[in-house]
Amino acid sequence: MTEMQKLYLLVPLAPLFGAIVAGLFGKVVGRRGAHVVTILGVATAFVGSVFVFQDVQAGNTFNGTLYTWATSGGITFEVGFLIDTLTVMMMLVVTFVSLMVHLYTIGYMSEDPGYQRFFSYISLFTFSMLMLVMSNNFLQLFFGWEAVGLVSYLLIGFWYTRPTAIFANMKAFLVNRVGDFGFLLGIGLIAAFAGTLNYAEVFAKAPALATMTVPETGWPLITAICIGLFIGAMGKSAQVPLHVWLPDSMEGPTPISALIHAATMVTAGIFMVARMSPLFELSEAALSFVLVIGATTALFMGFLGIVQNDIKRVVAYSTLSQLGYMTVALGVSAYSAAVFHLMTHAFFKALLFLGAGSVIIGMHHDQDMRNMGGLWKYMPITWITSLLGSLALIGFPFLSGFYSKDSIIEAVQLSHIPGAGYAYFCVIAGVFVTAFYSFRMYFLVFHGEERFGKAAEHHHDAHDDHGSAHSDDDHGHDEHHHGLAPGQKPHESPWVVTVPLVLLAIPSVLIGFFTIEPMLFGSFFKGVIHFSESHPVMAELGEEFHGAVGMAIHGLTTLPFFLAMAGVAVAWLFYMKMPAIPAAIMKTFKPIHTLLENKYYFDKFNEIFFAGGARLLGRGLWKVGDQTLIDGMVVNGSAKLVGVIAQLSRLFQSGHIYQYAFSMIVGVFVLLTFWFNRA
């Protein structure tokens, strides 16, 4: 094993080591030991990722097997790594954001009795994601995929005595299993028809797979494979209709909300489709399916952000919408634009979540924006960093979000894939919607009237969506009394919270400017992401690109910029100057508001159709299958049959010799009769 291969192993194993120590020996090492060992593990992974990145930039890539687990039917099951530019980009994003979250957690979870357990979970989460992105075969990909889902279950339900947390983690677990079923079908078709699970070997056979059909159906095999894989991505990356778990993930502590939404679980689906570009490029039907799903998510999930009053849930719905933008990019074959937005989004979304967490700390765990206002005076670092994150989110020129988001919008405009017209409308309308709900949150939290420290009518409504019963959870903060008491003022968060905010704000502002040219129009992804000649959107986009400065200056004159500024202006007018207007609109359009408040009734449909159907099926199996068939006919029926046979036997088992003799004569008579008439 070479030195670089040892370094590849060190990157995922360092967080795993930290997770084992904090999880199994948490009482021995204590709170300080738990955060020291896990932070050192993730920091080691980050530094290792930097060295791997430098090595890849020097032209060194790796695709090989480290351990062969088993061979069956000609298919090899192995652990191996694929180290290229796409991999190292994901490694850097995952480890850096995870490191910031680990530091932030010291302050946020300082009073929680599950402190060591939490550090163990987030470190294990990081390991799982690294195994996923570094894999060179579908078996390891599936392992990382399921491990990320498993740990998310533990994290979303971290406060496991809270009924709403139990419900949320079960929802996340079950919805992702639906997606994983499609994912497994896609992998199964690959294994059956390609005869291998290795990426490189599958991609080499992709043209042959494109000529095949699924037996008994006549469906194009490559389309079935791609749609199956994408259904898995719909679960992990929360696309309609498998999006319902993501807002409920807010039940977990804020640091894990940042990690799930920014760098780990939800990015898995986007990364996977980009990695599978050699397959998706061969099926326009699959691309069109991806495009329409992503466009629907981008716009309609953004609408839900408008009616949220919980600060964390506004950021959560913005994640859903931005994931839709990434998926749209995948659908128009702009894979590099999708992962570019994944990267920039990871920084400013982690920043927004951690900023929201800082506000929650300052507000004594009141999450209702209606109880805030004027916080800029009391929390200057949180205010400035949240402003930068919000500007990046809406795509303000020169900030990171602008370069990635505008590239996606332009790529959709250039595309001719079926559904591109609908997708362009969704992403362009989504610009206004995103700006409106983002700055609605910003203005309500940081500016205007100071509404905290009052017996506000909304004081206990902040947790309506996820239960207000914090009194019975394990959360060590004083959850019995949410919000500031009369006379209390908010306060800036401790340095372990504000330092990650500052460190995340820097790439949120700068990284897009410095990386757009190599990642989108240079050779960064050359040989890693594949484009067919029939889908030339990135080439056409490159012809119009004249540098990062030129793009930003031109962006000041484009429709997305004006729509974003309009969204900001309307939010300022509605919530700073004329707050009666949104109240009047809500009253006038009450049915639409009710529809949005109920999240398009997806949860109600799932509750009635799927959960109700499952309960009905279970009750039927219990009543008919268990009680009637098994208990009634098999168990009780057998007992009754034995009783009848026993009653009949008593007639012949009387103890009288003459009855036995008579029975023998009858038996002989029957035997002889059948013998002589056998012909």
The two tokens of residue 477 are: 């903060």
User: What digits encode the pLDDT tens for the residues 389-418?
Assistant: 999 999 999 999 999 999 999 999 999 999
The pTM (predicted TM-score) of the whole model is: 0.86
- Which pLDDT band holds residue 65 (cuts at 50, 70, 90)? confident
- Which pLDDT band holds residue 678 (cuts at 50, 70, 90)? low
Q: pLDDT at position 464, please?
A: 42
Q: Cα 117 to the chain's mean position, in Å?
A: 22
Q: pLDDT at position 460, please?
A: 44
Q: Is the pLDDT of residue 166 over 60?
A: yes
CA 58/CA 46 separation, integer angstroms: 19
The average confidence (pLDDT) of the chain is 87
HSE-CB for 80 with a 13 A CA cutoff? 18
The two tokens of residue 460 are: 């206990």
Q: Which of 75-84, 271-280, 285-294, 550-559 has the lowest mean pLDDT?
A: 75-84
Q: Is the pLDDT of residue 34 over 80?
A: yes
What 8-state DSSP symbol labels residue 492? P
Picking from 679, 658, 431, the residue whose alpha carbon sits closest to that of residue 564 is 431
What type of residue is 73?
G
User: What digits encode the pLDDT tens for the residues 349-386?
Assistant: 999 999 999 999 988 888 889 888 888 999 999 999 99
Q: Which of 121-125, 272-276, 461-465 has the lowest mean pLDDT?
A: 461-465
CA 246/CA 230 separation, integer angstroms: 17
Average pLDDT over residues 450-462: 59
Q: Is the pLDDT of residue 472 over 60?
A: no
The two tokens of residue 484 are: 């500031």
Share of the chain above pLDDT 90, in %: 55
Q: Which residues contact 605 (CB under 8 A, 6 or more apart)?
A: none
User: What digits encode the pLDDT tens for the residues 494-527?
Assistant: 999 999 999 999 999 999 999 999 999 988 998 8
Picking from 509, 352, 564, the residue whose alpha carbon sits closest to that of residue 445 is 352
Q: pLDDT at position 666, please?
A: 73
Contact 243, 301 (CB under 8 A): yes
Q: Is the pLDDT of residue 479 over 50?
A: no
Q: What is the CA radius of gyration of the chain?
A: 30
User: What digits encode the pLDDT tens for the residues 320-355?
Assistant: 999 999 999 999 999 999 999 999 999 999 999 999
CA 301/CA 322 separation, integer angstroms: 9
Q: Is the pLDDT of residue 650 over 70?
A: no
Higher pLDDT, 71 or 561: 561
Helices (H) and strands (E) in the chain, counts: 29, 2
Measured CA to CA in angstroms, residue 581 lies from 183, 402, 461, 577, 597 at distances of 46, 30, 21, 9, 18
Give burial (CB, 10 Å; 0-12/13-18/19+) of 526. exposed
Q: Is the pLDDT of residue 477 over 50?
A: no
Phi, psi values for residue 177, rounded to 5°: -70, -35
Contact 79, 65 (CB under 8 A): yes
Q: pLDDT at position 659, please?
A: 65
Higher pLDDT, 245 or 411: 411
